[in-house]
Chains A and B, each alone.
Chain A
Amino acid sequence: MEHQADNELLQLFKNGNSHYAFNLIIKKYQQRVYTHVRRMVIDHDDASDLTQNTFIKVWHNLPKFREDSQLFTWIYRIATNECLSFLKNKRKRFFLPIGDVEGELSDKLAHEPSLKGDAIEMKLQKALLLLPEKQRLVFNMRYYNEMKYEDMSEVLGTSVGALKASYHHAVQKIENYLTSD
């Protein structure tokens, strides 16, 4: 499906066709946002809620969007914050230490139909859950989404150098986990 350029969508939004433009923005980015969120929270229902919340926030804040950053990285930033808040609240609500949240996510992985019968992929996903949340974000954005470090820097508000180091560490940890018995 051919999508309009971001600047055209923003122009459309500003010219009074806000609902139509917003609908096109959702259609353009929903899959990427959902996948990004889903990799972080694993569960489909949670990912669906967080994706919806992300776009609701986009709708409310789009009139204030000053185009200092790209629309795509701005939406990604909102989605990332939604994920981090969700995981933080989960921990707070159940007074869980970090390991227990990851344990819960790991249980969800075990029930994921698409991973059944794929031991290597399951091991990779389990290895990812052992990473600290922000490192997991960095890994996902670079490895799966193939984002530039500069764009990741806009999303995460971290320097390119720090992101490169974080990705390097994440890759090392995963490699060690995958190659260990």
Chain B
Amino acid sequence: MNMNQENDNELKKNAPYLASLEKKNSFQAPEGFFEDLPSKIEDKIQAATTEKKHTYVSLHYVKYAAAAVVLLVAGYYFYPSKTIPQKNTFTAWNVDSLTDDELLDEMSDFPIEYETETVVSNDDADIINYLIDNKVDITEINGI
């Protein structure tokens, strides 16, 4: 018994009315549809391939453009933008040519660091020793 016979017998047994109906293909494609379909499919495949290539090319350039932007931004932040202040050095020539007032003016532009000796200990004995070593009259300080 072949498959079709088996199917028919199955149908007759379970659904006699359905089995009595003629099998129809109610959904016919419009005329000429199957003649054009292979070329339509090929065209779609071709179009998708071309589109993919274009997308790839543009993405290729976008990749480089993005890298350039990153480099520019990084360069902006990391490049030493502050110019190194030139040291004002007095040469023998310009020092000699300056008047005293000009020399004072020039010097006032320089920060002058004063060496200061700081008393690091709060211990009374250390303070008294320091004052004695520097010949400071302790009684004067205390107002005694």
A: residues with CB less than 8 A from B are 19, 22-23, 26-27, 30-31, 34-35, 38-39, 42, 44, 47-48, 51-52, 55-56, 59, 112, 114-115, 118, 120-121, 124-125, 142-144, 146, 148, 168, 171-172, 174-175, 178-179
B110: CB under 8 A from chain A? no
Given A31-B34, A124-B21, A146-B3: A115 and B26 within 8 A (CB)? Answer: yes
Which B-chain residue is minimally distant from A113 (CB atoms)? B28
**What DSSP secondary structure best describes chain A's contact surface?**
helix
Q: Mark B1-29, 1 if CB is under 8 A from A, else 0.
A: 00110010001001111100101111111
Query: A172 to chain B: which residues have CB within 8 Å?
Result: 14-15
* B42 interface contact, C-beta 8 A: yes
Residue of B nearest to A175 (CB): B15
The answer to whether A114 touches B26, judged by C-beta atoms less than 8 angstroms apart, is yes
A115 to chain B, nearest CB (A): 5
Q: Contact check, B27 vs A171: say whether CB atoms are below 8 A apart.
A: no
Q: Is the pair B18, A121 in contact by a Cβ cutoff of 8 Å? A: no
Residues in chain B near residue A34, CB distance under 8 A: 29, 33-34, 37
Whether the pair B18, A171 counts as a contact (CB closer than 8 A) is yes
Smallest beta-carbon distance B5→chain A, Å = 11
Contact A112 B27 (CB under 8 A): yes
* Interface core residue of A55, A118, A121, A142 (most chain B CB under 10 Å): A55
